[in-house]
Amino acid sequence: MLELIRGQRLPLSSITPSSSVEVTFDIQGSPALDLACFGLDAQGKLSDDRYMVFFNQPESPCQSVRLLNPTTFGLSLAEIPAGIDRLVFTAAIDGQGTLRQLGASRFRIGDASLSKAACAFAGEIFAEERAVMLVEFYRKDGAWRLNAVLQGFNEGLDALVRHFGGEVAEAPPAPAPAGHVSLEKKVAAAAPQLVSLAKKAQVSLEKARLTDVRARVGLILDGSGSMHNQYKRGRVQEVVNRLLPLAVHFDNDGQLDCWAFGDLPQQLGSVTLQNFHDFIDTDHGGWRKWELGSRINTEYRVIEQAIEFYRRGNGATPVYILFVSDGGIYDSRRIIKLITEAATLPIFWQFVGLAGRNYGILEKLDDMSGRAVDNCNFFALDDLHDLSEEILYDRLMEEFPGWLKAARAKGIVA
């Protein structure tokens, strides 16, 4: 039987060729857990509540997802409608306790009651969490893939519902610690037009348990000719606007380090709450005047420059880099080498494909073997407006917490 590890992604076909799949959870330990499967749309939302399958609703429409018994789900993947993009299996504590109390547990994947893959886990990987995303199936290039997520939430079931776009009655907010200034207040003081973004970013940071994390934040922008329309329409400026609240939260200086690249890389000025609003049109003379050589993609050069920048004097402080590209990737072998070597550095790479098609190696970096830790993630958008700001922040923070935990365990970050 294939043994899976936390965070591993692979094609479901490498486990079983059948479209009829069973997912079984062997949970040991004292907390009583309620299992559920959320069928989510392409925006990561539960747009049809008939696709939340649990003890009180044991079947989805057409019986494509069924709770066969309290610990086993049966899936007919060929019958799941195209509007359902992800199946996320979760567990939430019913009553008192935390996930740390779990004993040696596992989930199993197979068909016709024959398990073909399993992933072991126990309470030691959790702290005070009360709910967990265990495993998800998701569509990619017309095929189903598996991700062994094992990501917990302190707030229990409410956190899961919010994560999937549901609404939960809000409890009165707890008073802020003495001397603590909220992200919203930091932004409101200097850039009130970003307050709405700051509120949404704060929710995602809380869900991802990142409110106490300090890190440097970098942005790398594709400046190739094919990106011209994204700059002209203001989409690249919107990327700057949406990432800045995260930089203000993570970085004590509240600055966003920024690069652009064509054939050549250029380090731009730092984005701040004082200069963000027209940064793309004014920094270094504006985007049309950036000195990027020929306006073709040579990604590895800007990756090298960013690595060297953060290697100097950064110590073990975590770094989060958002790398935006519309595809047409050049020299994949050098990119693979750089990202593999950079896995020993305190740098996490979030690659985002914007309005392109040929993302090449960027889509595959997340599944590479041979790295000290999984140090990158990728997702693509046809348009920045395809995702709500709330979902975008969730996606941007999706794998950063897991990387932090793995990097800390190996002494890569403090």
DSSP 191-208: -GGGHHHHHHHHHHHHHT
| Cα 113 → chain centroid | 32
Residues facing residue 376 across a β-bridge: 349
User: ∠228-240-324 over CA atoms, to 5°?
Assistant: 55
At residue 181, the pLDDT reads 60
Residue 2 tokens, joined: 């294939």
Fold of 183-409: Rossmann fold (3.40.50)
**Separation in Å, CA 377 to CA 157, 200, 285:** 26, 21, 32
What average pLDDT does this structure show over 300-312?
94
What are the residue ranges of CATH 3.40.50.410 in the chain? 183-409
Arithmetic mean of pLDDT, 342-359:
92
> In terms of C-beta density within 10 A (0-12 exposed, 13-18 middle, 19 or more buried), how is residue 178 classed?
exposed
**How big is the chain, counted in residues?**
414
The distance in angstroms from the start CA to the end CA of the chain is: 36
Instruction: Quickly state the pLDDT bin for 182 (edges 50, 70, 90).
Output: confident
CATH code for the domain defined by 2-163: 2.60.60.30
Give the model confidence (pLDDT) of 205-226 as tens digits: 988 889 999 999 999 999 999 9
Helix 183-190 to helix 235-250 angle (10° resolution) is: 120
Q: Mean pLDDT, the chain, as a whole number?
A: 89
**Which residue, 135, 115, 152, 149, is CA-closest to 31?**
152
pLDDT at 20 > cutoff 80:
yes
Nearest of 299, 238, 307, 298 to residue 271 by alpha carbon: 238
pLDDT, tens digit (0-9, with 9 covering 90-100), for 248-260: 999 988 899 999 9
State the span(s) of the chain assigned CATH 2.60.60.30.
2-163
pLDDT computed for residue 93 by the predictor:
87
Find, among 285, 253, 290, the residue nearest to 272 by Cα: 253
pLDDT tens, position by position, 377-408: 999 988 888 888 888 999 999 999 999 999 99
Angle at 72 between CA 68 and CA 74, to 5 degrees: 60
User: Is pLDDT above 90 for 347?
Assistant: yes
Are the C-beta atoms of residues 259 and 306 closer than 8 Å to each other?
yes
Measured distance CA(34)–CA(368) in Å, rounded? 34
Mean pLDDT of 113-121: 91
